[in-house]
Amino acid sequence: MTNPKTPYASYLADQDPVRVLSATASRLAELSKSLGESRIEQPIAAGKWSPRQIMIHLADCELAFGFRYRQTLALDNHTVQPFDQDLWAKTYEAYGAEQALAAFTTLRDWNLTLIRSLTPEQFAKTCQHPERGQETLRTLIEINAGHDINHLRQLEGVVEKSAA
């Protein structure tokens, strides 16, 4: 159920979102190691975030998605709160890449434990997104998995460029 207002779920193609979510933390750790300390701080392009900032963003998003999952499960047709990633990024100097990876890994494990326990009825629960309209919990999970794919591709591109 791809929402035309967000491209992230479309990155999944035919992949299982839970499998994607389950693999992201270890892939992030591999990419972080490949980047090393020198490359992790360099923006991936002019005006873009560095790999460290992308990792912090992923940790922030995992926190936000976890909250959305729980609100959707707890409340009927809850309206989720969007956030401005650029405003959140203003605090990113406070965090290191290792700290971001540790936070992301812990939060993702916590959220996956919840996701793996859900019934089909729970996956079908709806919420409202102020910009995208009605979504199901399954759609939120698909968007999060597609978001992972997007940022992993960015980081993989940096690693490939560094190796060339």
CATH number reported for the structural domain that contains residue 156 in this entry: 1.20.120.450
Taking the C-alpha atoms of residue 27 and residue 12, their distance in angstroms, rounded to an integer, is: 16
Range(s) of the domain holding residue 68: 50-163
Taking the C-alpha atoms of residue 74 and residue 84, their distance in angstroms, rounded to an integer, is: 24
Residue 25 belongs to some domain of the structure: no
**Tens of pLDDT along 39-85?**
999 999 999 999 999 999 999 999 999 999 999 999 999 999 988 99
Residue 13 belongs to some domain of the structure: no
Residue 34 belongs to some domain of the structure: no
Look at residue 78 and give its three-state secondary structure: strand
The pTM is what?
Answer: 0.93
Amino acid letter, 32: S
Residue 99 belongs to some domain of the structure: yes
**Tens of pLDDT along 79-109?**
999 889 999 999 999 999 999 999 999 999 9
Q: How many domains does the chain have?
A: 1
**123 CB-side CA count, 13 A:** 13
